[in-house]
Amino acid sequence: MKTESNTESAELLHCAVATSSEENADAVFRRLFGMSVVKEFMVGEELGRALFGFGGQAKVIVYSAGGATIEAFISPERSGALDRYDHICLATRNRLDLIERASRMGMSVSSFAREGGDVVFIRDSDGNFYEIKEKEGTG
């Protein structure tokens, strides 16, 4: 498949889903898919509003197996809602270039500054969210 000139393909890092409870997340990702919990963290009100366009808090459980990583956002009020945490995370060697191209294409770009570096999301015309990271070792 031909890509835009001077563009390197992106690497899928993780996918995220909203679930109504830790029990539901464990049922799918641990019991059904045999994944292990590798990390847990909280998404706060400010970050949620800046990146996803709605507030509230969510516990995030990160599951992994066989090179696949899933972030389960535990949020009973979001699991059946239109405003959700679902997104795909991609890494590229030139994040700034990709972000600028997305902006030129009319896509929404949101960022949130935090310790350790900023978090950047692109929202496409269908409402899908893509978290964009720089490939490690490239800048």
Concatenate the DSSP letters of all residues of 1-28 into one string: ----TT-PPPEEEEEEEEES-HHHHHII
Domain total of the chain? 1
Q: Is residue 51 part of a domain?
A: yes
**Distance (Å, whole) CA 103 – CA 124:** 10
Reported as a pLDDT band with limits 50, 70 and 90, residue 14 is very high
Inside any domain, residue 44: yes
The answer as to whether 4 is a domain residue is no
Please spell the DSSP secondary structure of 98-112, one letter per residue: HHHHHHHTT-EEEEE
Check pLDDT > 60 for residue 2: no
DSSP letter (8 states) at residue 125: T
Render pLDDT for 51-69 as a digit per residue (tens, 0 to 9).
888 878 889 999 999 888 9
**What DSSP letter does each residue of 65-97 carry, written as one string?**
ETTEEEEEEE-TTTTTSSS---EEEEEES-HHH
**Which domain range does residue 110 map to?**
11-134
Q: What is the CATH number of the domain that holds 107?
A: 3.10.180.10
95, part of any domain? yes
Classify residue 1: in a domain, yes or no. no
42 pLDDT exceeds 90? yes
Is 3 domain-assigned? no
pTM: 0.68
Is residue 58 situated within a structural domain?
Answer: yes
Whole-number average pLDDT of the chain: 85
Residue 5 covered by a domain: no
Nearest to 25 by CA among 63, 65, 64, 69: 63
